[in-house]
Amino acid sequence: MAEKEENNLDRLNHSSDGDREEKNGQSIPNSETEVEGKKRRTRTPSPKSNPIQAFMVAASPPKFISFDQLMAAANGVKNMSLAHEIAVNNDFQIEKLQPQENSIEKQVRDVMHKAFWDVLEDKLKGDPPDYSHALVLIEEVREMLVSLLLPQHVRLRAQLQEVLDMDLIQQKMENDAFDIFYYANYVVDTMSRLCAPVRDKRVARLRDSKEVVPLFKEIFEVLELMKMDMANFTIQQIRPYLQQQSVEYERKKFNEFLKTQEESGTDGLEITRMWLKRNYDKLLAEEAHCEEQDSAASQASATDSMPSTSSGSRGSKATPAAIMNEAYMETLSWDENNIYPETLLMDRARFFELETKCSLLTNIAAVQLVTYSTVGAPIAGIQTLKQTLKSHVQTLLEGENIDLKETLANVAEQVKKDVNECLVQHGFSQLDEKKSKLLTGQICDLASSGNAVTTLMKRRMTNFIKDSISTRRVDPLKLPPGFSAVETELSQVLGQFMRLISHNRSVFGPHYSAVISQLLERQQDLSPH
């Protein structure tokens, strides 16, 4: 191991020697190659990638940290990721890890388990029976039952220790006075008292088993499930406490990670700075565009001898809150060419899911808008058709890696079918050939880049979400026009998005404030005095 680490260090040292590298006969500064190297190493990860691996990103460091330091940082990020998952995911549960079918892990496990139970069966069939393996099983069962007890189970705990007294059981085995079904029945009775209602039927079936080996195999499987039930119950009970403590805990662990990165000569917030600066520059560009329009309006007013409608000196749009909101909104239309910020990596999959949902709701709203505007008065105000269209269109558009253009052709056929059925039901004639072709063309054209209807609906949704996170409202939010059919789904997306960014801002707020302050100070220094 030591020799391997020395070789790795030698390669790292060799890669950092010299101030320049030769490429195509020209000298390339190290700074450029290091930037490109970091881009490759910190490319936006897949939504299903490991958040721990995603955190451990760095450019070529001029210093080295020990293996223990690296593992400590990785473990800290792992614990932070788990605490974060429990805090933000109300559906978080521990599930039994099942190896994949035909995997080596599953094959080895199955062989080992079969060998164990076969040995137990052979020993029990001996004359006289050998209960040495059964004694070990009963002891393990007792320990698992004890682990399921709550502090208030004082009497049951004492009873368990008394009935499943291993010394007494061993004496009975040695004196041929041992009845294995007596203890099995006691274990099943105790399990029935401790298990969650969802396990009642499975525990009841244990009473019908008359074979020792199958009975104990099933007892162990059900006990494993009961342990997970208890763990999930505990998580559910302490979740409010975890949510209160998670902010400080995550911030502490992230700061430890940053310290480790700093010791290795790496800026652990480099991509976060790029993310905030990109959105700060976007706000400045919008502000400059508004000023140009105001200037043009002022000149036109002066030429026409009309009073200027310009607002004159307006406050800067690039406030710290506006920068953060703009940055968060970018997650709903993320450019995969950009690297994902370090502070958002744990929620990358969640933001990606919300982005996908927003795209789906936009397409559903666009299809409905095109349908109602094309067909016109005969279907105006028919709410049942809206819900039918939403259900069918959503089913067709959901799924990964769909071809939108091809799928919209199928959507158009389904929409025409639903519309014709609705028209006949309400006493109207079906769509004529001209209107049918027009509706098909309008729906299929929604897949085109820059389609006016899709762009309009996307802008309405974006403005609705941005307005919702930018202001504190007492009155109910006003739903954007055209989204009434997906009101419930849009409200859920907004709620999830607001919870995510609220937690993220609470954890990483001090880091964001420091970065934004530097951006604003630099802008002031560059401003003409």
* Among 220, 236, 252, residue at a domain's last position: 236
Express each pLDDT in 89-143 by its tens digit. Answer: 666 666 666 667 777 877 787 788 788 888 888 887 877 878 888 888 889 999 9
- Inside any domain, residue 90: no
Domain residues for 514? 322-524
335, 319 contact by CB (below 8 A): no
How many structural domains comprise the chain?
Answer: 2
Q: Please spell the DSSP secondary structure of 326-382, one letter per residue.
A: HHHHHGGG--TTSPPPGGGGGGHHHHHHHHHHHHHHHHHHHHHHHHHHHH-GGGTT-
Residues 232 and 356 in one domain: no
How far apart, in whole angstroms, are the C-alpha atoms of residue 2 and residue 432? 80
How far apart, in whole angstroms, are the C-alpha atoms of residue 331 and residue 273? 15
Would you state the structure tokens that stand for residue 49, as one six-digit string?
A: 């990638």
Average pLDDT in the chain: 79
Q: Which of 383-387, 398-402, 483-487 has the lowest average pLDDT?
A: 398-402
Express each pLDDT in 200-237 by its tens digit. Answer: 888 988 888 888 888 888 898 899 888 888 888 877 77
- Residue carrying structure tokens 């002031």: 524
How far apart, in whole angstroms, are the C-alpha atoms of residue 370 and residue 289? 32
119, 129 contact by CB (below 8 A): no
Q: Which DSSP category does 484 fall into?
A: G
Segment 264-277 shows an average pLDDT of 91
* Among 204, 236, 268, residue at a domain's last position: 236
Q: Which of 326-335, 390-399, 440-449, 515-524 has the lowest average pLDDT?
A: 515-524
- Inside any domain, residue 486: yes
- Residue carrying structure tokens 């099933």: 218
- Inside any domain, residue 92: no
Q: Which of 46-60, 185-199, 271-285, 495-509 has the lowest average pLDDT?
A: 46-60
- Inside any domain, residue 89: no
- State phi, psi for 27 to the nearest 5 degrees: -85, 130
For the chain, the helix, strand and coil percentages under 3-state DSSP, each to the nearest 5? 75, 0, 25
260, 101 contact by CB (below 8 A): no
Q: Please spell the DSSP secondary structure of 427-466, one letter per residue.
A: T-PPPPHHHHHHHHHHHHGGGSTT-HHHHHHHHHHHHHHH
How far apart, in whole angstroms, are the C-alpha atoms of residue 393 and residue 22? 56
- Inside any domain, residue 252: no
Please report, for residues 182, 248, 318, 320, 498, the alpha-carbon distance to residue 509 in angstroms, rounded to integers and kept in the order given: 61, 11, 17, 11, 15
485, 391 contact by CB (below 8 A): no
* Among 236, 262, 292, residue at a domain's last position: 236
Percent of the chain with pLDDT over 70: 74
Whether pLDDT at 411 is above 90:
yes
Residues 338 and 472 in one domain: yes
Whether pLDDT at 35 is above 80:
no
Q: Please spell the DSSP secondary structure of 221-279, one letter per residue.
A: HHHHHHHHHHHHHHHHHHHHHHHHHHHHHHHHHHHHHHHHHHHTT--TTHHHHHHHHHH
- Inside any domain, residue 35: no
What does the pLDDT read at residue 80?
Answer: 59
- Inside any domain, residue 198: yes
Residues 232 and 369 in one domain: no
How far apart, in whole angstroms, are the C-alpha atoms of residue 274 and residue 382? 49
